[in-house]
Structure 1
Amino acid sequence: MTAHLPDPAGFPECPVCAYVLTGTARLCSDCAGRTLQPVADPRCPVCSQAVAPGGQCGNRLCALPVAQRGFSRVDAVAVYSGALKDKIHKLKYGGKHGWAMIFGRLLVGWMASHPEQMQDVDHVVGNPTHAGRQPLQHIEAIMDAAYTEDVTRSFPLYPPGAHRLIKGSETPRSANRSLDDKRAAAAAHAAALTWTGDTGDLRGATILLVDDVFTSGSQLRQVALRLRASGAADVRGLVLARVPWSG
């Protein structure tokens, strides 16, 4: 840091950090990178799961052709563990809205740190939640924060309230359900989505689909297949946290 200025407090002490209101996305991302559990190397080039040197990913989706898998790859800011897991839970289920701003910065910081992944992206959109979701629409809150934090308008994000992908109805939740139930819930979720922009915007486009957590990829797959069926050429995922694969 600049002389005579305090160092960043480190994740998850963000609410009491001297830069909680003035810090840039890159500063917050670099700071969090020192305390969050990083995505492992070597990793699966498709789903970012840790793999043994020379080994193969255990996620069956990763062995499918892209046309069947839907998404080409998914990147994660960090591993779903410790403080990050706790704070995502607090935003998602406790409505702690202040974490949306922090997570928006982390996502924009990741984009700024990975220009090779962003150079051909046409749309950055959130994997949406239903308008009636309680205590809040956490993905939409994160995406609104990301737009605000992208002060140089470097990325194809959309202004608050102008979400390109919306969910028109509530669908069954997949948490703590069987694998078959999770797959059915993922299909129902994707079927409830609508692209609010000109459908011509999707033709040949590369979409970066943002979510909070990636586990098996069932939901991302269904949403990606829906977008590809509507004309998207490529769908990639970017998540805050990658759950260690246990399948």
Structure 2
Amino acid sequence: MRDKIHKLKYEGRAGWAMIFGRLLIGWMESHPDQTRGVDHVVGNATHTGRKPIQHIEAIMDAAYTEDVTKAFPLSRPGAHRLVKQAETARSANRTLDEKRAAAAAHAAALTWTGGTEDIKGATILLIDDVFTSGSQLQHVALRLRATGAADVRGLVLARVPWSA
């Protein structure tokens, strides 16, 4: 899985976005208890200028396309609810303190595009590609809660193995 996420993220192999989007829809279909009551399914945004590809946005667009019955509250392609206009430091291969600082900066750079009435009291399912320390999901969830969300749930494609 790590190799496939890397190919999407760093090599721009966009075909993997469709596969990951299908996996996301399949998971949501097979876990109705975890998706019940979710008002918005959003990706943890990547910088709008990210090269070679905005991978999370590509996965979310693929999931929207795959959700042919529109059973899930996914934003239509190009209408993502979380947007990251500014580039921030990467957290890969950093110390835990550096990861936490990068996560806080990442969350601060995010904007909710749906409007305050759209997020107030909402339950959000936040999608990300890789879980390493949990810092980024935590900081983004706190940011969404501060913006008005009542609950933020996290779902990731993969987790980095923890070392002893």
Task: Identify the TM-score tier after normalising by the shorter chain.
Answer: over 0.9
Q: Name the counterpart of 1:159.
A: 76
Tell whether 2:11 aligns with 1:94. yes
Q: Distance in 2 between matches of 1:191 and 1:125?
A: 17
| Conservation of the 8 A alpha-carbon contact between 2:96 and 2:133 | no
**Residue identity in the other structure for 2:37:** D
Unaligned runs of 5+ in 2: none
| Conservation of the 8 A alpha-carbon contact between 2:38 and 2:125 | yes
RMSD (CA atoms): 0.9
| Conservation of the 8 A alpha-carbon contact between 2:48 and 2:84 | yes
Alpha-carbon distance, 1:145 to partner: 0.3
Tell whether 2:58 aligns with 1:141. yes
Tell whether 2:116 aligns with 1:212. no
Q: Distance in 2 between matches of 1:137 and 1:236?
A: 22
Identify, as 1 or 2, the structure richer in helix. 2
Alpha-carbon distance, 1:231 to partner: 1.1
Q: Distance in 2 between matches of 1:145 and 1:177?
A: 30
Within 5 Å, give how 1:1-247 maps onto structure 2.
84-246=1-163
Normalization by structure 2: what TM-score?
Answer: 0.97
Please give the secondary structure, in 1, of the residue aligned with 2:130: strand
Please give the secondary structure, in 1, of the residue aligned with 2:158: strand
Please give the secondary structure, in 1, of the residue aligned with 2:93: coil
Q: Distance in 2 between matches of 1:134 and 1:171?
A: 14
Please give the secondary structure, in 2, of the residue aligned with 1:229: helix
Please give the secondary structure, in 1, of the residue aligned with 2:141: helix
Q: Distance in 1 between matches of 2:129 and 2:86?
A: 20
Please give the secondary structure, in 2, of the residue aligned with 1:143: helix
Alpha-carbon distance, 1:200 to partner: 1.2
Q: Distance in 1 between matches of 2:69 and 2:114?
A: 23
Q: Distance in 2 between matches of 1:242 and 1:174?
A: 15
Identical pairs, percent: 79
User: Residue deviations 1:151-171, cap 9 Å, x none?
Assistant: 010000011100000001000
| Conservation of the 8 A alpha-carbon contact between 2:128 and 2:157 | yes
